[in-house]
Chain A
Amino acid sequence: QVQLVESGGGVVQPGRSLILSCGASGFTFSGYSFHWVRQAPGKGLEWVAVMSHDGVNKYYGDSVRGRITVSRDNSKNTVYLQMNSLRAEDTAVYYCAKDREMFAVGEVDYWGQGTLVTVSS
């Protein structure tokens, strides 16, 4: 059974940094790309980033490019999202999600339950 569990959210001051983690189980972790998607309170979904199965290819959304970095540790079945220079508009639930196909980057199928990041002084 596929499980994705995000952690690391919380309240952080503007301008500070935060690292989110996403632990995975129930499938061959090293074969899949992972995405991060966020949802501000009461708003729609925003695609944030993707990282290929081998960690080589990384792509970012326009609103976060330059401030975030995605990484993964295949030995720990974990992906990470590092966010720097946080702004109030980064306040959102952050979801990690796996790609549907192995060794590809395409649509997302399984999602974690999300972790809430609140940027506030």
Chain B
Amino acid sequence: AIQMTQSPSSLSASVGDRITITCRASQGILNDLGWYQQRPGEAPNLLIYSASTLQSGVPSRFSGSGFGTDFTLTISSLQPEDFATYYCLHDHTYPYTFGQGTKLEIK
């Protein structure tokens, strides 16, 4: 199975900061990667698909990039509602696998 290594596992930042989260695949996955946000007690929410396409309704401060093995999620200016846990998920081959998650906390 393809392994997804996500970093950092946790991150402290302030409202207005720009942050980046990375995911590295153990083998090439083209652009078959999505990013999800999960707030405590809630189901995950799709932010980005195909590595860089913004899901409908998601604010433009979220962006994704990457191809092959290295991917990034960037939030350009953190808002209070962005403090949550973020996961990457590849859909290149079966089984799909998630990254370990990045918990974004308020500094």
A contact set with B: CB distance below 8 Å: 35, 37, 44-47, 50, 59-62, 95, 100, 105-114
Contacts and interface: CB of A to CB of B under 8 A. Distances in A.
Point out which of B32, B36, B43, B50 has the most chain A C-beta atoms below 10 A from its C-beta: B43
Interface residues of B, number: 24
A92 B79 CA distance: 30
A50 B94 contact: yes
A105 B1 CA distance: 18
Nearest to B45: A111
Contacts, number: 58
A23 B65 CA distance: 34
Nearest to B96: A47
Interface in B21-67: 32, 34, 36, 38, 42-46, 49-50, 55
B74 interface: no
A62 B89 contact: no
| Interface SS of chain A | strand
B82 to A, nearest CB: 18
B43 A107 contact: no
Contact of B46 (A44, A61, A95, A109): A109
B97 interface: yes
A45 B44 contact: yes
A100 B49 contact: yes
B95 interface: yes
12 contacts: A37-B44, A44-B87, A45-B38, A45-B44, A59-B95, A60-B94, A62-B1, A95-B44, A106-B91, A108-B34, A110-B46, A111-B43
